[in-house]
């Protein structure tokens, strides 16, 4: 996974509550509704599908006034959202599509729990900010100037000069900073896992099916 240490670029403010993963990562574009889907998606496919229901008209032409279709937000690196961002399904195409588009940090007051975890798995930072701060950052984002993230310092600088600190669990922060391969890290503890299974099997044998 690609490490996330610094990030610089415009932030697209889409400050609505309850932006769900069906909106972020829809099953279809408007034109391809109901058609069979392929199993593999390239990074380009992923980037194109992001917010497809909002970005495209019925013929899949870009709707020019949607923010991600406008400069400089086509180069957005941040997205500013509302309460309960990423609620809904567990599809991890939601963070993957954001990331493929170039957005590697979402700023919102709260998140759907599964989306929140999936972000870290996809090398993305779901930053939690209170509603007042989100409002201020969204105001400063309107002009399209660059935001700048310093993950190690847990600090974000907005184009209007506002500098804010944020909290992120240390465990998750370290994963992002080094681009950790979590499977490899866990497999280093395989002896503990096997020991747990042995203990559990003795106590509650029905847990294991053979």
Partner 1 sequence: MPGQTLFEKIWSRHVVADYGDGFALMHIDRLIVPDLSSRALSALRERGLPLHNPELVFGCADHAISTDPGSNDPHSLNNPFVANLREQSKHFGMTMFEPREFGAGIMHVIAPELGITLPGLTLCCSDSHSCTNGALGALSWGIGAGELTHILATQTSVQKKPKTMHIRLDGKLPPGTQGKDIILHLIGQIGVAAGNGYAVEYAGEVIDDLPMEGRFTLCNMSVEFGARFGIIAPDDMAFDYLAGRPYAPKGELWEAATKDWSSLASDSDAVFDNEVVVDFSGLAPQITWGNTPEAVLPVDGRIPDPSSEHDSARRSAMEAALAYMDLKPGETIEGTPIDWVFIGSCTNSRISDLRAAAAVVKGRKVAKNVRAWAVPGSQSVKREAEAEGLDAIFKEAGFEWREAGCSMCLGANGDIVPSGRRSVSTSNRNFVGRQGPGSRTHLASPVVAAASACAGKIADPRKMV
CB of 207 to partner 1, least distance (A): 5
* 132 near partner 1, rule: CB under 8 A: no
**Closer residue to partner 1 in complex, CB, 13/95:** 95
**Closer residue to partner 1 in complex, CB, 8/197:** 197
CB of 164 to partner 1, least distance (A): 21
CB of 177 to partner 1, least distance (A): 16
CA angle 181, 183, 187 (to 5 degrees): 125
Residue 7, number of CB atoms within 10 A of its CB: 20
DSSP 16: -
Instruction: Map the footprint of partner 1 across residues 91-130, applying CB under 8 A.
Output: 91-92, 95, 110-114, 117-118, 121-122
**Closer residue to partner 1 in complex, CB, 74/135:** 135
Asked if 67 and 137 count as a contact pair (C-beta separation under 8 A), the reply is: no
Two structure tokens written together for 83: 């309460």
* 206 near partner 1, rule: CB under 8 A: yes
Task: Give the three-state DSSP class for 85.
Answer: strand
Interatomic CA distance for residues 175 and 161, integer angstroms: 29
* 69 near partner 1, rule: CB under 8 A: no
Checking DSSP bridges between strand 105-108 and strand 78-81, what pairing results, if any?
parallel
DSSP string, 147-196: EEEETTTTEEE-TTS-EEE----HHHHHHHHHT--HHHHHHTTHHHHHHH
5, 6, 28, 42: which one binds partner 1 (CB under 8 A)? 28
**Closer residue to partner 1 in complex, CB, 6/16:** 16
Instruction: Map the footprint of partner 1 across residues 133-172, applying CB under 8 A.
Output: 169-171
Interatomic CA distance for residues 88 and 72, integer angstroms: 29
Give me the residues that bind partner 1 (CB under 8 A), please.
Answer: 16-18, 20, 22-23, 26-30, 33-40, 53, 58, 82-84, 87-92, 95, 110-114, 117-118, 121-122, 169-171, 182-183, 186-187, 189-190, 192-193, 196-197, 200, 204-210
């Amino acid at each position: 996974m690609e490490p996330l240490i610094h990030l610089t670029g415009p932030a697209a403010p889409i400050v609505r509550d309850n932006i769900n993963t069906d909106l972020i990562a829809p099953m279809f574009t408007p034109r391809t509704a109901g058609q069979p889907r392929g199993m593999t998606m390239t990074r380009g496919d992923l980037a194109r599908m992001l917010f497809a229901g909002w970005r495209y008209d019925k013929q899949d032409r870009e709707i020019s006034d949607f923010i991600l279709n406008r400069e400089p937000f086509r180069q957005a690196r941040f997205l500013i959202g509302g309460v309960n961002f990423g609620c809904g399904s567990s599809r991890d195409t939601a963070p993957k599509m954001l990331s493929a588009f170039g957005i590697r940090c979402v700023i919102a007051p709260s998140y759907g729990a599964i989306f929140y975890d999936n972000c870290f798995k996809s090398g993305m930072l779901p930053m939690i900010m209170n509603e007042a701060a989100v409002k201020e950052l969204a105001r400063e984002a309107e002009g399209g100037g660059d935001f700048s993230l310093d993950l190690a310092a847990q600090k974000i600088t907005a184009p209007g000069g506002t500098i804010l600190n944020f909290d992120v669990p240390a465990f998750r922060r370290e994963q992002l900073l080094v681009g950790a391969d979590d499977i490899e890290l866990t497999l280093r503890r395989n002896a503990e896992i096997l020991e747990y299974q042995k203990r559990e099997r003795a106590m509650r044998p029905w847990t294991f099916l053979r």
